[in-house]
Structure 1
Amino acid sequence: MKFKRMTEIYSRLVDSTITNTNEINDFSVGSAMRAIYEAISIELEQFYIITRENIQEAIEAGVYSSFGFTRKQAMKAYGNLQLTFHTANQVDLPIPRGTRFTSSQSAYPQVYETLVDYYIPAGSLTATIQVYCTIPGEVGNVPANVIDVMMTPLANVKSVTNPSAFLTGQDAEPLEEMRSRFRSFIEALSRATIPALEYGTRTVPEVSGVYVDEQTGLITIYAHDRNGDLPENVQNSIETTIQNYRPAGIPVEVKPVIKKALDVSVVVTLTNKSAITNAFRDKISSEIQRY
């Protein structure tokens, strides 16, 4: 299909009119016929633009479909909560699946819940559990120390908080990232290579960073999520997934990274002073941490 611009369409309309009739000959700026033809030309140009975009998207979708390549869906934010008890537990304390938590701050109405049952050993003064936001997407990402309300009260619990920010919530994969990931997918078709191991690790939805260290007789994969951590369930998923990408006969280990905190000072200048709020500062801080 030949793409036609508005000027070309307008010229063809004028030429056809002049050729086939002598009753219309005023196409000066401001004339009725010029306005009508320009409106028609603009609409036809939009038709060509939309048609071309639809064809390109159809071709792209067809290529992805032929390889069984799909777009990543939105993911729920997750992270660790620290519970502090008034006194050491006398017996094992169960925290059932579905126990919910939230924040006392109105800027963070998100709700988080446990997905598995936890049993806190007797004699414990503190405990760490993992919770997931009930809503998928980046909306679940929150700064450190804002989740402080236990919606399902338990005896002897003194306080609850999230020592680190939650940064693992992700919206549906942007098309540009999907295209970039597809290029990595093509490179990974040749198995038992570093690109293949890296891509295979990244197919685990929680993984946001990978480094493959190849040595004689040993391959070590360092991976982390957006929190900079490698939870046990994510590590197990990586170990299972890379079986289809690893070389035979060479051991492959999956390890977490060592996080190093860096001091960063940022000065943000705003023309609208009323926009400077604690929630806005926390948003900037969380974006820098995530990046």
Structure 2
Amino acid sequence: MADLPLYLLDQTEENIMNRMLNQVPSDIDKSEGSFIWDAQAPVAFMLSEAALWAQELLRRGFASTVASDRPEIRSVELDLRTAEHGITRREAVASSGSVVFTGKPRTTVPAGTYVATPADEGSGESSVEYVTISGVTLGDLGTGTAPIRAVTPGSSGNVPAGVIQLMMTSVSGVTSVTNPEPTRSGTDTESDQSLLERFYAKVRSQGTSGNKAQYMLWANEIAGVGGVEVAPLWQGPGTVGLYLLDTDKRAASQDIVDAVQQHIDPSQDGQGEGVAPAGPVITVMPAAEVAINISVKVQRTQEQPSTMDEIRKLIEDGVRSYLQQIAFNRKDPLVRYTRIAAVLLDIPIIVDYSDLTINGHTEQQNIEIGSGQVAVLGTVSVSE
């Protein structure tokens, strides 16, 4: 917080007590234990408490100082401050994905069937439950795919491929279940820092009359949106395209896309039924993912033993972080070969590398990411 006003500085109990005693005539006993001293001591204590309360009240009066840096804390005062400008905290979003059921052909798995990940007693992680959104009938090969959504909203529902293995609802004829792909787009209740960022975007960059800034503000009001790209004149005059990312900087799920479409232009007929003005037709879409596949040979340090799986994981984490930083960056729409090379050299257990290829290119060629596209990590192949 900025410097405190003078009237709140040095308001300790001792300082207040000394100032009060200085106002007592010198011919009156004001030593500790005297009547004057004993009478003023409680007053000094309460005034010092009041000064602390005033400092806390001042801190809570500004969005920048009341917002917490801790992701688990949600400031009520920040909610009140942003609500004055029509900005509300985004709720948690349930993760979504799909599962494959295996069993007797022609078996019907109804909507509302519960599946889950096993609990991990070693780490203390509890089971994560999901429910099928629609039913599915197993085909002639005894398999069928059904969409699922996490029962409990939040990022805990984002799990890797192959970990959903339990049938919580018994279905005769089904022998197993698994998720071939990771579940995605689950987000926790919006953090203070994210809410503060949207608050600043609203008050510092006013969106008006349906300009690009306003479409971005409208889209970001929906829970789960992690990035927006506006395409004016998307399919000619009177059309606007909105491409969305989730909070992991991947293509937004259909649930998020539908929610934004419903909020901005539900009828898509130019009648202004949503927050968008009458006239333009708005189409909301998930971003198109461009996979970045990497192959590289590495030389490992001998001082710190490591496995190829450990190195691969470090490379994946580093490249994924880099790709998230440049998502929807129209100022520099390139996945740069040199930046990925820098990720490799920033890993302490990698001494050197060779034969780095990105999407099959052996030369130092950058990958251009077009409008409405987002670069995401594909396969990472590591050898030595």
TM-score by length of 2: 0.55
Matching residue within 134, 148, 159 for 1:117: 134
2:230–2:242 CA contact under 8 A, matched in 1: yes
Q: What does the per-residue CA deviation read over 1:40-80, in whole Å, with 9 as the maximum and x for residues that have no partner?
A: 7764542232232344479866654444432222333x121
SS of 2:149's equivalent in the other structure is: strand
SS of 1:136's equivalent in the other structure is: coil
Distance 2:158 2:259 in 1: 23
Distance change in 2, residues 1:102/1:203 (3 Å): same
Q: What does the per-residue CA deviation read over 1:27-51, in whole Å, with 9 as the maximum and x for residues that have no partner?
A: xxxxxxxx99997776454223223
Q: What does the per-residue CA deviation read over 1:215-273, in whole Å, with 9 as the maximum and x for residues that have no partner?
A: 452422111334634444433322222223445444433222222344699xxxxxxxx
- 1:191 equivalent to 2:209? Answer yes
- Bigger share in helix: 1
Alignment correspondent of 2:263: 241
- 1:259 equivalent to 2:289? Answer yes
Alignment correspondent of 1:75: 93
Alignment correspondent of 2:192: 175
- 5+ residue gaps, structure 2, are 33-40, 67-75, 266-273, 297-309, 325-384
Distance change in 2, residues 1:226/1:15 (3 Å): closer
Distance 1:163 1:123 in 2: 19
- 1:5 equivalent to 2:9? Answer yes
CA apart distance, 1:17: 0.7
Distance 2:253 2:80 in 1: 36
Matching residue within 76, 93, 97 for 2:112: 97
- Matching of residues 1-291 of structure 1 within 5 Å: 3-6=7-10, 10-21=14-25, 22-24=28-30, 43-56=49-62, 64-76=82-94, 78-86=95-103, 89-90=105-106, 93-103=108-118, 105-106=120-121, 107=123, 108-114=125-131, 116-120=133-137, 122-123=139-140, 125-186=142-203, 187=205, 189-215=207-233, 216-217=236-237, 218-226=239-247, 228-243=250-265, 244-246=274-276, 248-262=278-292
2:112–2:133 CA contact under 8 A, matched in 1: yes
Distance change in 2, residues 1:192/1:233 (3 Å): same
- Letter in structure 1 aligned against 2:115: R
Give aligned pairs, total: 264
1:97–1:114 CA contact under 8 A, matched in 2: yes
Identity %: 17
2:98–2:183 CA contact under 8 A, matched in 1: no
SS of 1:222's equivalent in the other structure is: strand
CA apart distance, 1:20: 0.6
What is the CA RMSD across the aligned residues, in angstroms?
4.1
SS of 1:114's equivalent in the other structure is: strand
- Letter in structure 2 aligned against 1:258: A
SS of 1:15's equivalent in the other structure is: helix
- Letter in structure 2 aligned against 1:237: A
